[in-house]
């Protein structure tokens, strides 16, 4: 009888031990209690919506967008589409106080996708602009020409303040429009957008209807014609459909949206880097080969080594698929890439990693999971001051809707999570401090629902070294 009692006591003690371990591993942060209204469904906007309106005039330029055009930041790529014929390929541009206009020539291309033929896509690279300057530009000809403007960033430097907007998985629904409107109205005033992949969601329409790339281009023009969007490719940009004869991955995306990849020594427009103000931004492609000795791997190996944190102290990585999140859908989808590259993130003290893909918001603690080998069994994320914060912001408003099923209990690496649509702002103050905020789409206004003060990993380590010395 006593042996049975002893066995029962041992079992009870073991259960309490397991519960204790579980609590320690899953002592997570905050799961927001905000509940979205029942009518907040991501319905597509109808094709006759104002946001899809074609500009007036025969063959007038449309879908105008800009992105950074070189590595340093004083270049811009201006792109637009004319629907029925090539128009003038000349861009006329001038600085705010300039006395004369300059001209640059665009290249023109078209592409075909199944039964769709694109309009005439123009891309114009303008290099060697002045830093920290407002420029006006004009495209088209005659009475139907169109004018826009943009600001170049300040010259790269360690204490240059700059504010980035963050949007991912946007699509073209009513919620997409709300997200973009809230970003535009945000008093934080983002100066450029870091876009985290999944643009138009044209692949969700029958036969990957590429007309939906056109409607999306007109929808976002009101922002991206005036400030650069830095592009990350997502899974909805792959457009690989061998059943209808489409076997060239990323064909619509790479024809429409150029990136300055050659300026950073990359061989692919899907992975590249730029400097902008006090930030060094590395864009990775999780839907291209990234294993050891692949072109992306070899490029990244050199890229991390050449970052000068005394010039651009904020090291930021953009990748579509998250390394850390705690939603059931897409859980651990980025695991192979994490295993490959997380040690580099820690070694080179990446400050923050932004991702999309998961249609919700989540912010992690500074954690790493790089100690494992086949002997030690150390396979849990642990607190690591050299690790980045991982922020998932794939909540732009796309038609697939929000993810609401979460891992329970909340894992210890998760600091805050909420399944709502919204956008983010990264406000870099100086070499040591930056402020990130996530803004929920709620009640017709942009509501700051989560925020965190970020301390630069490189300069924090330098200060600790000086204190010890």
Closest to 427 measured CA to CA, from 397, 458, 448, 396: 448
- Residue pair 193/229 in contact (Cβ under 8 Å)? The answer is yes
Residue 42 binned pLDDT confidence (cut-offs 50, 70, 90) = confident
The answer to whether residue 39 scores a pLDDT higher than 70 is no
User: Encoding tokens for residue 429?
Assistant: 């103050």
The answer to whether residue 3 scores a pLDDT higher than 60 is no
Residue for token digits 């109808």? Answer: 46
Encode burial over 99-127: b for 16+ CB neighbours within 10 A, e otherwise: eeeeebebeeeeeebeebebbbbbbbbbe
Residue 36 binned pLDDT confidence (cut-offs 50, 70, 90) = low
Closest to 422 measured CA to CA, from 397, 392, 404, 389: 397
What residues are annotated to the active site? Answer: 330
Q: How far apart are CA 390 and CA 469, in angstroms?
A: 31
What pLDDT score does 37 carry?
60
DSSP category for residue 143: G
Cis, peptide link before residue 409, omega less than 30° from 0: yes
pLDDT tens readout for residues 185-222: 998 899 999 999 999 999 999 999 999 999 999 999 99
CA distances from 52 to 47, 271, 411, 444 (A): 7, 30, 42, 21
DSSP category for residue 244: G
Q: How far apart are CA 350 and CA 192, in angstroms?
A: 20
The answer to whether residue 6 scores a pLDDT higher than 90 is no
- Residue pair 273/283 in contact (Cβ under 8 Å)? The answer is yes
- Residue pair 278/158 in contact (Cβ under 8 Å)? The answer is yes
pLDDT tens readout for residues 288-340: 999 999 999 999 999 999 999 999 999 999 999 999 999 998 888 889 999 99
Per-residue pLDDT, averaged over 411-426, amounts to 95
Q: Which helix (H) or strand (E) covers residue 4, if one does?
A: helix 2-25
- Residue pair 137/115 in contact (Cβ under 8 Å)? The answer is no
The answer to whether residue 24 scores a pLDDT higher than 80 is no
Strand 62-68 to 107-109 pairing: unpaired
Per-residue pLDDT, averaged over 421-433, amounts to 97
pLDDT tens readout for residues 335-393: 999 999 999 999 999 999 999 999 999 999 999 998 887 777 778 899 999 999 999 99
What pLDDT score does 20 carry?
44
Mean pLDDT of the chain: 91
Per-residue pLDDT, averaged over 88-112, amounts to 94
- Residue pair 219/172 in contact (Cβ under 8 Å)? The answer is yes
- Residue pair 429/436 in contact (Cβ under 8 Å)? The answer is no
State the pTM of this model: 0.91
Q: How many CB atoms lie within 10 A of CB 23?
A: 11
What pLDDT score does 178 carry?
94
Task: Tell me phi and psi for residue 304, to 5 degrees.
Answer: -60, -35
Cβ neighbors of 5 (< 8 A, separation 6 or more) are none
Closest to 153 measured CA to CA, from 257, 264, 67, 261: 67
DSSP category for residue 153: P
């Amino acid at each position: 009888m006593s042996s049975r009692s002893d066995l029962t006591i041992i079992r009870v003690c073991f259960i309490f031990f397991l519960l204790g371990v579980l609590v320690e591993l899953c002592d997570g942060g905050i799961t927001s209690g905000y509940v979205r209204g029942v009518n907040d469904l991501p319905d597509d906007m109808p094709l006759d919506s104002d946001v899809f309106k074609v500009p007036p005039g025969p063959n007038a330029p449309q879908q105008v967008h800009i992105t950074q055009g070189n590595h340093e930041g004083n270049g811009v790529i201006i792109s637009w589409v004319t629907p029925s014929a090539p128009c003038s390929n000349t861009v006329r541009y001038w600085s705010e106080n300039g006395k004369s206009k300059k001209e640059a020539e665009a290249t023109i291309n078209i592409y075909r996708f199944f039964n769709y033929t694109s309009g005439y896509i123009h891309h114009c690279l303008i290099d060697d602009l002045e830093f920290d300057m407002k420029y006006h530009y004009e495209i088209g000809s005659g009475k139907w020409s169109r004018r826009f403007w943009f600001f170049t960033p300040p010259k790269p430097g360690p204490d240059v303040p700059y504010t980035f907007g963050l949007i991912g998985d946007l699509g073209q629904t009513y919620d997409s429009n709300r997200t973009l409107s809230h970003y535009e109205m945000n008093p934080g005033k983002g100066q450029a957008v870091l876009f985290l992949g999944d643009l138009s969601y044209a692949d969700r329409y029958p036969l990957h209807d590429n007309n939906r790339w056109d409607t999306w281009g007109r929808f976002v023009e009101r922002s991206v014609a005036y400030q650069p969007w830095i592009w990350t490719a997502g899974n909805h940009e792959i457009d690989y459909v061998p059943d209808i004869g489409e076997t060239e991955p990323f064909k619509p995306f790479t024809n429409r949206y150029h990136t300055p990849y050659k300026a950073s020594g990359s061989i692919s427009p899907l992975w590249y880097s730029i400097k902008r103000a006090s930030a060094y931004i590395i864009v990775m492609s999780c839907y291209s080969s990234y294993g050891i000795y692949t072109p992306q791997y070899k490029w990244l190996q050199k890229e991390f080594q050449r970052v000068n944190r005394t010039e651009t102290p904020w090291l930021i990585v953009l990748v579509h698929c998250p390394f850390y999140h705690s939603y059931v859908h897409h859980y651990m989808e980025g695991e192979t890439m994490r295993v490959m590259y997380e040690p580099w993130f820690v070694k080179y003290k990446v400050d923050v990693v932004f991702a999309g893909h998961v249609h919700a918001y989540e912010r992690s603690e500074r954690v790493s999971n790089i100690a494992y080998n086949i002997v030690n069994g150390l396979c849990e994320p642990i607190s690591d001051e050299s690790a980045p914060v991982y922020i998932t912001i794939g909540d732009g408003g796309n038609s697939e809707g929000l993810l609401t099923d979460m891992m329970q209990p909340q894992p210890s690496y998760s600091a805050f999570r909420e399944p709502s649509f919204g956008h983010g702002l990264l406000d870099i103050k100086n070499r040591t401090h930056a402020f990130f905020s996530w803004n929920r789409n709620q009640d017709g206004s942009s509501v700051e629902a989560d925020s965190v003060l970020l301390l630069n990993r490189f300069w924090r380590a330098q200060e600790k070294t000086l204190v010890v010395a």
